[in-house]
Structure 1
Amino acid sequence: MAGRPPSRARVLILGGGLSGTLAAAALARHGAGGGTAADIDIDIDIDIDIVERHALPDGPRTRRGLPQARHAHLLWSGGAEAIESLLPGTTQMWSDAGAHRIPIPNGMVCLSPGGWYRRAWPETQYLISAGRDLVDWAVRTRALALPGVRLVPEAEPVRLLGTRSRVTGAVIRHRDGTEEVREADLVIDATGRSSRAPNWLAELGIPAVRETVVDAGVTYASRRYDAPVDTAGWPVINIQADARQAVPGTGGTVLPIEGGEWLVSLSGTRGGQPTSADSEFLEFARHLRSPLIAEFLDRAEPLGPVTVNRNTSNRRRHYEKSRVEGFVALGDSATALNPVYGHGMSVVAQGARALRDLASKSDITSKGFARRAQRAIGRPAAAAWLLAAGQDAAFPHSVAKEPHFADRLTARYVSRLITTACSDFTVVKALTDVMTLQAGGAVLAHPRVLLAAFRGPRLPPLDGPALTPAEQAVLLGRPTPTHTT
């Protein structure tokens, strides 16, 4: 509308990983007036600076500052669809680069605590199987192409600016040691598990946020393999730990990824962790609840050394309780989850989508926006937290608060559902909808699901994995790997 001044806002995003680039995608089309430029009659202008400590590669290659990229990552359908809604065309980029879309449950060979899952059911959900570097590259490429988004590489935040009630920017230090003041209407912390924001906020006199930690002492050990078959159409192989047993929980996952490779991650809770020794990797897999992963790896060739990650505790910072203006935490900076459940990327994506939806109808510079945004971001994180923390708290030697009666009752019910899911499609669908973050936990209390859980398993348990003839053929011989480096 003529004569009306442009609306301008400044956003400073700390961290250029998946959380930071998705935050930029969430806000790039939204300005201080709310809505999108196509939907409202005022000029919209927003400047978004992403401050990233390291130089970022221009392709799907390893980057510094992301050691967890060497381990298996699951992008559930709930997260994939959130990313696609923020950055249309990303799914096609993944596919063109070799990522696989795997149907669930029929595309998984899974031994749950309740037994082997059947694979004759129709698809209910899906996951994207790819290396983390590929996932991040596609998101980063599309996000940095958005208008108003700028990357500030090789610079890191050293402190926040503001008062006891509002964050107004940050001081960043460049590679040459010079420091620069960056003022902003909104600062988003996307620096991950190692976030120093709690200390920075304390320096401003802002009361500390409450933290909840559940730590089962999980260690990850991962290795890439040259797959002995074409990975297109190959299932995810998943041997889950059983928290009901009074021993450390061990498990493993084989993901078919781009380049004709298998990405294999093994894990163990406190007292049963894998090591970084190449010579012990296969032996650890052989002593899981099923030796199936080891049997497949006997037919594959390792492509590099074993890498280990021990930073796996569940940590939730309750920023939604804070009254500070101008500051929002996204991703692991707010809620860090044990990677074994594969929810990290999906929670970030759904949190960013929630941020976008709020920004589409609210002024990001208005009083109370940050708190409303933190609450919106926290909803999908809370659902994943219940799944991860509830499971991890049950393992021996886990560091967690003592479960209440309601917690124990819920755990028994979920255990019943997991066992029933091995032979009941109603329960399979409910569990996969929740696991993929396409539905909340209330789905598990639907009358049909309650009735199925009351009846229990309707078929005898499988005595082994439900493998296709092609999958069995790999175990019967030693095919020559189809991909070489």
Structure 2
Amino acid sequence: MTERTTTAVVLGGSLAGMLAARALADVADHVTVVERDVLPTGPEPRRGLPQARHVHQLWSGGAHALERLLPGIVDRLRDAGAHRLPVTTDMVALSPHGWYRRWDESHHMLLCSRDLLDASVREAVLACERVELLQGTEVLGLIGTHEAVRGVRIAPHRSAPASPSRSPSPSTSRSVSLERILTADLVIDATGRGSRAASWLTGLGLPAVRRREVDSGVAYASRVFRAPEAAREGFPVVNVQPDPRAGKPGCGGVLQPIEDGRWLVTLFGSRGGEPRVEPEDFLRYAREDLRHPVIAELLSCAEPLTDVAYTRTTANRRHYYERMPAWPENFAVLGDALCALNPIYGHGMSVAAQEAVALRDTVRRHGRRAPGLARRIQRAVARPAAAAWDLALGMDVFYPGATPNGPTPRDRIVAAYVGRLLQTATGNGRIARRVTDVTSLERGAEVLLTPSVALAALVGPLKPALSGPPLTVEELKAVGLR
């Protein structure tokens, strides 16, 4: 540490960017968040985030990371209506291998609308006096050389109003009138799927980054419903998963309780089996195209509150920045700009929170001006991204057309073992817990490779398969089905 003031710039003011800013506020003297859009003041839709209309969740691994960055935030979210659901106790899930049992709690999920989560995090981050927000501002490129980044060029975003009428706080937001240079000791790119980091780096003379994309072609259709009054508290998540190895389009759906007594329902299908945007087709798809009609049955007594929101941008895309032979000082990439995941697995937000913690811990461990700090940061944030990438890849790579050449031999071997574990988890509580250790991002995949777990996979389920969704009598009564 030195006495000189340390400044950081975070590109992007969505969840990943805000959490990165809060992480850096603990290790830098001033943090500026540069955001293209004008952000809302509360839990409202925002431009540039179409995926917010679909189901989101924080797995417990992400919720713990969020709490480390913003102590008390989980309680504030729950006070605002977010649900804490134990896994797998409050899950009714049909896997490719059958219905999961509702075992005792191993981990949990935090469920609410993306708008509520973003607004709560944004308010908490911008309350920090070290964090400043420049909204309605576009990043034009990096300033520096292949050895070190020194800042960014910024300008007013073309479609942003000259005097924003909605601003999180006059003390944390100011307008930009002219193109200018914003210097910084550390620049973090959290601009999401539209990141231009790869081209920026080649423009500085660095080699092209290796990239892999697995595009299952999944399209999402989502709608918000008013839940029956008796089902507004304590109702489980209902998840009907497709089987990507069946050789035909995969169709699935998720019913998720969110705040204010509402259900957020997302239906999805891969190429050739996509849901449609017409509201009148929503229930039909849930009833006829999914592997079980349970979601349609539950919606028959719920009131639709919105039209159907539709999105096709769902490809898994990973940039291997941590493997580049050369890396500039003072620059790192995280969030969807590093690794964008199919939203249906619900890992994107949790990974972003874990990456922000890794960012802060790396700077604390090595010091703000340690040589090679940016490369260490890049390798640290790649670890949670890699774990979630492997989980998504193990499913999506089997959809027709997801990759030019189909699954690799390694993909097939890993999928066969994981599939056997998932089948075992339908009738073995210990293995179900080990699987949720990994899917909740609480532990790494190595817990699935121990001799005892491998032996259990060889033996298979200890209990017979369930014949239908494990909804309780009370839950069925709450929705008028019993």
Scaled by the length of structure 1, the TM-score of the pair is: 0.92
Q: Which residue pairs with 1:454 in the alignment? A: 458
1:52-63 equivalent positions in 2, closer than 5 A = 52-63=35-46
1:17-28 equivalent positions in 2, closer than 5 A = 17-28=14-25
8 Å contact from structure 2 (residues 394, 414) kept in 1: no
CA distance in structure 2 between the aligned counterparts of 1:87 and 1:58, rounded to whole angstroms: 19
1:279 aligns with 2:280: yes
Q: Which residue pairs with 1:101 in the alignment? A: 84
Runs of 4+ in 1 over 6 A off after TM superposition: none
Change (3 A) 1:404 1:477: closer
Cα distance, 1:147 vs structure 2: 3.1
8 Å contact from structure 1 (residues 189, 328) kept in 2: yes
Structure 1 regions of 5+ residues with no counterpart?
Answer: 32-45, 479-485
8 Å contact from structure 1 (residues 426, 448) kept in 2: no
SS class of match (1:359): helix
1:168 to 144, 150, 159: 150
1:399 aligns with 2:403: yes
8 Å contact from structure 1 (residues 167, 324) kept in 2: yes
CA distance in structure 1 between the aligned counterparts of 2:53 and 2:99, rounded to whole angstroms: 28
Cα distance, 1:396 vs structure 2: 2.0
Q: Which residue pairs with 1:181 in the alignment? A: 181
One-letter amino acid matched to 1:246:
G
1:129-144 equivalent positions in 2, closer than 5 A = 129-144=111-126
Q: Which residue pairs with 1:212 in the alignment? A: 212
8 Å contact from structure 1 (residues 393, 400) kept in 2: no
CA distance in structure 2 between the aligned counterparts of 1:219 and 1:325, rounded to whole angstroms: 39
CA distance in structure 1 between the aligned counterparts of 2:425 and 2:376, rounded to whole angstroms: 37
CA distance in structure 1 between the aligned counterparts of 2:78 and 2:443, rounded to whole angstroms: 25
Cα distance, 1:477 vs structure 2: 5.1
CA distance in structure 2 between the aligned counterparts of 1:240 and 1:159, rounded to whole angstroms: 41
1:248-397 equivalent positions in 2, closer than 5 A = 248-286=249-287, 287-322=289-324, 323-397=327-401
One-letter amino acid matched to 2:178:
T
Q: Which residue pairs with 1:201 in the alignment? A: 201
CA distance in structure 2 between the aligned counterparts of 1:25 and 1:299, rounded to whole angstroms: 42
CA distance in structure 1 between the aligned counterparts of 2:369 and 2:207, rounded to whole angstroms: 22
Q: Which residue pairs with 2:436 in the alignment? A: 432
8 Å contact from structure 1 (residues 239, 289) kept in 2: yes
Deviations 1:270-294 (A, max 9, x none): 1111121111111111120000001
Q: Which residue pairs with 2:236 in the alignment? A: 235
CA distance in structure 2 between the aligned counterparts of 1:432 and 1:401, rounded to whole angstroms: 31
Cα distance, 1:53 vs structure 2: 1.1
SS class of match (2:365): coil
Q: Which residue pairs with 1:71 in the alignment? A: 54
SS class of match (2:359): helix
SS class of match (1:360): helix
8 Å contact from structure 1 (residues 325, 371) kept in 2: yes
8 Å contact from structure 2 (residues 221, 266) kept in 1: yes
SS class of match (2:366): coil
8 Å contact from structure 2 (residues 82, 111) kept in 1: yes
SS class of match (1:64): coil
1:50 to 33, 41, 55: 33
CA distance in structure 1 between the aligned counterparts of 2:100 and 2:8, rounded to whole angstroms: 46
SS class of match (2:182): strand
CA distance in structure 2 between the aligned counterparts of 1:101 and 1:292, rounded to whole angstroms: 22
Structure 2 regions of 5+ residues with no counterpart?
Answer: 163-176
Cα distance, 1:475 vs structure 2: 4.8
Q: Which residue pairs with 1:123 in the alignment? A: 105
SS class of match (1:381): helix
8 Å contact from structure 1 (residues 213, 400) kept in 2: no
SS class of match (1:387): helix
Q: Which residue pairs with 1:37 in the alignment? A: none
Cα distance, 1:332 vs structure 2: 0.1
Deviations 1:387-445 (A, max 9, x none): 10121001122225543333212111111111111110111001101000001000111
Q: Which residue pairs with 2:168 in the alignment? A: none
Q: Which residue pairs with 1:35 in the alignment? A: none
SS class of match (2:244): coil
More displaced 10-residue stretch of structure 1: 78-87 or 175-184:
175-184
CA distance in structure 1 between the aligned counterparts of 2:250 and 2:406, rounded to whole angstroms: 19
SS class of match (1:253): strand
One-letter amino acid matched to 2:416:
R
One-letter amino acid matched to 2:96:
P
Cα distance, 1:382 vs structure 2: 0.4
Cα distance, 1:164 vs structure 2: 2.0
CA distance in structure 2 between the aligned counterparts of 1:410 and 1:232, rounded to whole angstroms: 39
Matched residue count = 460
Scaled by the length of structure 2, the TM-score of the pair is: 0.93
Deviations 1:290-346 (A, max 9, x none): 000011111111111101111110100111123122111110000000001110000
CA distance in structure 1 between the aligned counterparts of 2:4 and 2:323, rounded to whole angstroms: 29
RMSD across aligned positions (CA): 1.5
1:90 aligns with 2:90: no
Deviations 1:195-222 (A, max 9, x none): 1222222222222211111111111110
Identical-residue share of aligned pairs (%): 50
Cα distance, 1:370 vs structure 2: 0.9
One-letter amino acid matched to 2:154:
I
Cα distance, 1:7 vs structure 2: 3.4
8 Å contact from structure 2 (residues 301, 480) kept in 1: no
8 Å contact from structure 1 (residues 268, 274) kept in 2: yes
CA distance in structure 2 between the aligned counterparts of 1:416 and 1:390, rounded to whole angstroms: 13
CA distance in structure 2 between the aligned counterparts of 1:470 and 1:62, rounded to whole angstroms: 35
SS class of match (1:281): helix
